[in-house]
Chains A and B, each alone.
Chain A
Amino acid sequence: MKLLFQAGTIVDPSQGWNKKGDLLIEDGKVARFGKLKRQKSWEIIDAKGLVIAPGFIDMHVHLREPGREDKETILTGCQAAAAGGFTGIACMPNTNPVNDSEALTLFILQRAKQADLVNVFPVGAVTKGSAGEELAEIGQMHRAGIVAVSDDGHPIQNHQLMRRALEYTKLFDIPVIDHCEDKILAAGGCMNESAVSTRMGVRGITPAAEELHVARDVMLSRSTGGRVHIAHVSLKESLDWIRIGKRQGAQVTCEVTPHHFTLTDRDIKDYDTNLKMSPPLREPEDVEAMLGGLSDGTIDCIASDHAPHTSLEKDTTFEEAANGIIGLETSIQLAWDRLVRKDVISIPRLVELCSVNPSRILRLDRGTLREGAIADITVIDPNREVTVDAGSFKSKSRNCPFNGWRLVGSPVMTVVAGRIVYTISHGLKVE
């Protein structure tokens, strides 16, 4: 089985490529690049005007299975990922039960294999039950296939435990992904503390709740040599700490979500619960800082923090509503429209943020179109205009604040190990 992308623009920062040409895929691997003479038996894809990139990886996704299959399953999450242009997703362990064991990791991988669409990379819990008390059996989960550990949603408050986690994970060369939030400072709050929270009469969370833990993680990473990955950075000050850490040689990386580089707390209207998330939407200066961090290299990845919820959790008052929005099916469109088209970042930098860097941080054998590499490919049409329609999402949930937005630039094809799993014209393909 051979697949030829003809006359596309191949963007592969892992080899410094940003050039036009043909790319041949053979037996699920990248075979050749150049000006190739087509053969009858090959499947030909006219890639004129399209960007061919190593497969995009969303390293922060909540799949909700096991436990809340009404919100999302591993299957529907994989479908949403494929439709959103992602060839791989890392799924957070805050399911019910929490993924803190080899058995659950194996279950997730098995379900992903049954879905047979995109790569699923499980993230294990740092502590048993994500209770923040004792380390989970990280080694055994690692043997089963986890690519990182995180107590996302239940951030580790105990500094000594965080230090031990950073030390212990050095054994496996995996990062600790931290949702940075001091629970005492954040207690009772449900949005950014600002003039907006005051006006809405809703308890705010002081930005210091995030900043404190980012600074802590930078310090602990530096002193232990462990790898920390700061999830969904939302504050200018957090980026300042990360810059300091990187300059000092700390093993610190970070991600930003599309909503934190497009929306601010000023956008919260009529107590719309689809604008409630953790960390909360911040101020315009913070969005500016995110754009700065994306362009100057401080931010390593774009990740969606895809957090599906049903109307049970969202059709209620702002204070009672659950945190989070879905993002797999809007992430790349938002990044293209808001970052590439507005010249915040170049196309190769986008590929670095969405493919090369997540792959490097999670130590995956992806993120490249080198000859012989696994042929995970994301194809983007830079000129395709889309209107976000949450009703048509593959995800089971609809908690999306971007519904109705018109965006230019969209993934149009997703290829996993040489197999086309999604095209925008024909939808999901399962052979």
Chain B
Amino acid sequence: MALRGRHLLSVEHLTIPEIELILDTARSFKEIGTRSIKKVPALRGKAVINIFFEPSTRTRSSFELAEKRLSADAVNFNVSFSSVTKGESLIDTGRNLQAMNPDLIVVRHSLAGAPELLATHCKGSCVINAGDGMHEHPTQALLDALTIREHKGRFEGLKVVIVGDIAHSRVARSDALLLTKMGAHVWVCGPPTLIPFHFEDYGVSVTYQMKEALEDADVVMLLRAQRERQQEVFYPSTKEYAILYGLNRQKMKWAKKDAIVMHPGPINRGIEIDPEMADGNYSVILEQVENGVATRMAVLYLLLGAGEDTGL
């Protein structure tokens, strides 16, 4: 079995069996990371270009490791030194990449829809969206799902709470879409200035109150607090945010005893999360990072290698 689409641009179009396939594949790939020789020949001879128009260390490293563990030839297209900063259009950049005949392009961009535009203009390659503006971050949602499934064994009936700047978060959008699709009951919580318009349409519940959000929660997912965006200020101070929404031991008592704490990183210790919570038993934040590599391997493999004799 493979994925229906050539690209992974959004979780919106993934079916439940496809999501399960990705998670199952990721689970089997996880073991490769524990071997002494962390490499399989699954994507030998495949060329992958990682092009990040936005600074990113973790996501890019995660993709690069995933590509290398599958023996793909990975090239990083460094935007800050490239012609992109000289005013080359996204479409021209895409056409140039296309001319090098890569099998797959991983793209991150600060504007929504950029990966889709690239996919339209790079007909020969698969495209993976590694985050586009405030739109989506599909592999993050998949790795989050994998982490949740490992701990809870299911999605059906789980109360998953996403706390923070929902409005500007592609992670919140992808997670809400994917986890709702898998049967979880997703809640989002944050100051009213950071809840996007009509977010209920995603089938999620919205609250401004941490108590209501955390009560009986199975999963607590925190987002990075960023006070200013495009010269606009959404809450009065970091201190006030930490008081209202920062996760600490006291607030965590509202959640279920076996609840897990997640964060897509990078974390602001002492702001959205108390150090004690970040490092404590509840936290699965570093497992998310580990699962990130396996999930990306799974997506790369399913888009490029599945169906062929890969000598796994």
Contact = CB atoms under 8 A, between A and B. Distances in A.
B133 interface: yes
A223 interface: no
B201 interface: yes
B132 A201 contact: yes
A318 B135 CA distance: 12
A201 B173 contact: yes
Interface in A211-230: none
B136 interface: yes
A102 interface: no
B111 A318 contact: yes
A202 B135 contact: yes
Contacts of A194: 197-198
B3 interface: no
B112 A195 contact: no
A198 B114 CA distance: 16
Contact of B111 (A198, A204, A270, A319): A319
Given A316-B89, A317-B90, A317-B113, A200 B196 contact: no
A213 B186 CA distance: 38
A426 interface: no
Contact of B197 (A188, A204, A270): A204
Contacts of A315: 89, 91
B197 A203 contact: no
A203 B198 contact: no
B170 interface: yes
A198 B113 contact: no
A202 B197 contact: no
Given A271-B112, A315-B89, A198 B197 contact: yes
B90 A203 contact: no
Contacts of B232: 187-188
B134 interface: yes
A319 B112 CA distance: 7
A199 B136 CA distance: 9
B199 interface: yes
B103 interface: no
Interface residues of B, number: 26
Interface of B: 89-91, 109, 111-114, 116-117, 120, 132-136, 170, 173, 196-199, 201-202, 230, 232
A423 interface: no
Given A316-B90, A316-B91, A200 B113 contact: yes
Given A194-B197, A200-B135, A201-B134, 5 more contacts: A198-B198, A204-B197, A316-B89, A318-B112, A320-B111
A112 to B, nearest CB: 34
Interface residues of A, number: 21
B91 A203 contact: no
Interface in A258-301: 270-271
A412 to B, nearest CB: 37
A12 interface: no
A271 B133 contact: no
A198 B200 CA distance: 10
Contact of A317 (B117, B136, B170, B202): B117
A194 B198 CA distance: 7
A193 B195 CA distance: 13
Contacts, number: 67
A318 B113 contact: yes
A194 B91 CA distance: 28
A18 interface: no
Contact of B134 (A193, A195, A202): A202
Contacts of A316: 89-91, 117
Contacts of B198: 194-195, 198
A201 B117 CA distance: 15
B201 A270 contact: no
Interface in A43-67: none
14 contacts: A188-B230, A188-B232, A195-B198, A198-B198, A200-B135, A202-B135, A270-B116, A271-B112, A271-B117, A316-B90, A317-B111, A317-B112, A317-B117, A318-B112
A197 interface: yes
A271 B134 CA distance: 14
A167 B117 CA distance: 48
Contacts of A318: 111-113
B135 A201 contact: yes
Interface in A368-423: none
B223 to A, nearest CB: 15
A203 B202 CA distance: 17
B133 to A, nearest CB: 5
Nearest to B195: A198
B197 A195 contact: yes
Nearest to A197: B197
A198 B91 CA distance: 25
Nearest to B119: A270
Q: From A187, A201, A270, A318, name the one whose CB has the most chain B CB atoms within 10 angstroms.
A: A201
B93 to A, nearest CB: 11
Contact of B201 (A187, A188, A199, A203): A199
Nearest to A206: B197
B116 A271 contact: yes
A201 B176 CA distance: 13
Nearest to A312: B89
B91 A201 contact: no
Contacts of A197: 197
Q: From B113, B134, B199, B201, name the one whose CB has the most chain A CB atoms within 10 angstroms.
A: B113
Ranked 3 nearest A-B pairs via Cβ: A201-B135, A271-B113, A195-B198
Nearest to A200: B112
